[in-house]
Amino acid sequence: MEGRGGCHYGRGRTAAGGRARCRAVGSCHTSPSTTALLRRGRETSSSFSSSSSENLRSWVPRSLAKRTQENLFTESGACSVSVQYDPEELVRRNVKNPLDAAKLAVRGFDILFSLGKFFACLKLDDLYGNEAVKSRAAELRETLTYLGPSFIKAGQVLANRPDLIRADYMEELCVLQDDVPSFPDEEAFEIIERNLGRTIGETYSKISKEPVAAASLGQVYRATLKSTGEEVAVKVQRPGVLPTIEKDLVLFRWLAGFLEDYSQRNLGCDAQLIVDEFGEKILEELDYNQEARNIQDFFDNFKGDKFVKIPWVRRDLSGPELITMEWIDGTRCTDPEGIRRRVKVDEFIRVGVVSGLRQLLEFGLFHGDPHPGNIFALDDGRIAYVDFGNVAEISEKNKQVLIDAVVHAVNKDYVEMAGDFSRLGFLSEETDIGPIVPALEQIWTDSLGKSLSEFNFRNVTGKFNELVYQYPIRIPERFSLVIRTLLIQEGICITLEPEFRFLEVAYPYVAKRLLTDSGLRNRLTQVLFKDEEFQWERLSNLLELAQDGNLDLDLTDTIRGLLQVVARDRSLRSQLVAAATHDNSFQIEEILKLLQKFQGGPQLVDSRKLVEEVVTDLPALAAYFVQDLTSQIISPVPNPVYRKK
């Protein structure tokens, strides 16, 4: 939600255990792969860490802050490593003496006056029956812009929160994502030299006189490195932005305390928790040293991917308020005609959707603002991402639940789907999901129509937004980003190809992962078995979906992977043998139907290769299957009865 196209990066974690996972609230365990990240966190222990002092005043009860913090970490499913967001410390730091308290009061008065004026106008409109939604929405945007960075960020957040604000206001607030005033270039150049410890001329042979992109927290210049001649993007943080945001967070939290009853009653959550989610996110975005490390994480995640380009970062030319990274040249998605001239649109779209799904479901680290200005088509057909100012993560637990939700959607299991929403934090544990199940079924049935080609993700979210107002549903901050990301991706794809349908790419991706990823055995079982009966049609559908999503897919590896997953999992293997010998007879007819589906057309399976690879493992696997098969066949035979002589 930052900038208009310059490289602006945000926080994140590596895919392979990049963040310590929580067993329970307050306890973490780490694998060796997390050691470096934990060390990184200690290196950047920021000014947000808490300190003990008996004489400092606090407006926030310690127990409340602790409870809110625990709720925040519990919901994320992961432990915070590098940035310790502590609302109590923010209060203490901003009211430690009368002068600071006075500054906070002045800021509070300015905020109350500006917002009070806006809400007074809304009240008058209501009293006199005036319909001025469009003009009032524009006034709200202008008011937030006047109040500064934290309010601009808040407006950007609200633009993606249908559970908190109506649709016509959301549309107007989206302008804040692309239209933010820049700050003076002289100040920016002073910040650059202060962070580098030397003059601009010693580092860059040339630099643009004006920013190429401006955002709520910083702006970006284009430059050329003096040492190598490489072109780079230079991101500079707004001067004085941190103290202003800290004061605003203190005031936000104080106001949230008055709204707690309302938020609990209407949103099913603590208003201060919403503020804490926002505060944790915005403070992490201001940690540019962390951003530089996060760029490297993203770079490492896609290392070796021949379809995706992530910029490199120069850590030695970065600092607390400065990041120097590779400049990306290509055709922005804001120029669909240019993209159509340069690349194969269908392949570019598929690569973009799959790379987005990999970020979400494999790495757990995803780009939170993939708007058209932040995505490029390179001349060689690759997709490139820039502007990582809004990067978020999904915990391992939530990644699995998201895959569960896709599985339950495919199986039309709406009771389990409602349970997935509860596990993801959309519903509180006390909420009765009974009334929500038929509503979810209606939404999904209406949106899917008769086939995948009729599915439109925006229609689903539009109907889900209506559900938000009927039931105690709250969209967690990270999932509002997920939803927004998917909507933006679908919008870009439809602009490039009007007939594009998201599920036609997403389902095949998930299908292939289910078939080949041994870590998803439980999910595969849910798809292939229902009421302890093997669903041959579902297996057939999965194979077809996996084929549809990859024009060059060789199902040899897919089938071999499936056989290995099934053969090495005793429970799954036993169920498959039981299904194949249902009613004491082999289900030859079902197996033949499955094989016939893949006859004719392009060769999808290299039979010779498949047989050779399976035979290699045959001695070990055969013993398992023979044992299970023998047990299944002889189980109906009664044990002999021996008579006593």
Extended beta strands in 126-242, E state = 204-207, 213-214, 218-225, 231-237
3-state secondary structure of 221: strand
- With a CB cutoff of 8 Å and minimum separation 6, the contacts of 573 are 566, 567, 624, 625, 628
Is 369 among the catalytic positions?
yes
3-state secondary structure of 606: coil
Angstrom distance (rounded) from CA 330 to CA 309: 11
Neighbour count for residue 197 (Cβ, 10 Å): 9
Closest among 257, 212, 260, 264 to 234, alpha carbons compared? 212
Angstrom distance (rounded) from CA 489 to CA 497: 12
Angstrom distance (rounded) from CA 432 to CA 434: 6
Whole-angstrom Cα Rg for the chain: 28
Using the 8-state DSSP alphabet, how is residue 519 labeled?
Answer: G
Closest among 397, 408, 410 to 546, alpha carbons compared? 410
Paired sense of beta strands 383-385 and 308-309, if any: parallel
**CA 75 to centroid of chain Cα atoms:** 14
Angstrom distance (rounded) from CA 444 to CA 450: 11
Q: Which amino acid is at 227?
A: S
For tokens 């992109």, the residue is: 213
Handedness of CA 137, 141, 144, 149 (dihedral sign): positive
Annotated catalytic residue: which of 369, 387, 404, 628? 369
For the chain, how many residues are written? 645
For tokens 């669903």, the residue is: 535
Angstrom distance (rounded) from CA 353 to CA 350: 5
Burial class of 119 by CB neighbour count within 10 A (0 to 12, 13 to 18, 19+): exposed
Angstrom distance (rounded) from CA 538 to CA 221: 52
Bridge partners (DSSP) of residue 206 are 224
Burial class of 381 by CB neighbour count within 10 A (0 to 12, 13 to 18, 19+): middle
Angstrom distance (rounded) from CA 90 to CA 100: 12
Angstrom distance (rounded) from CA 66 to CA 198: 43
Paired sense of beta strands 322-326 and 313-319, if any: antiparallel
Point out the residues that are catalytic: 369
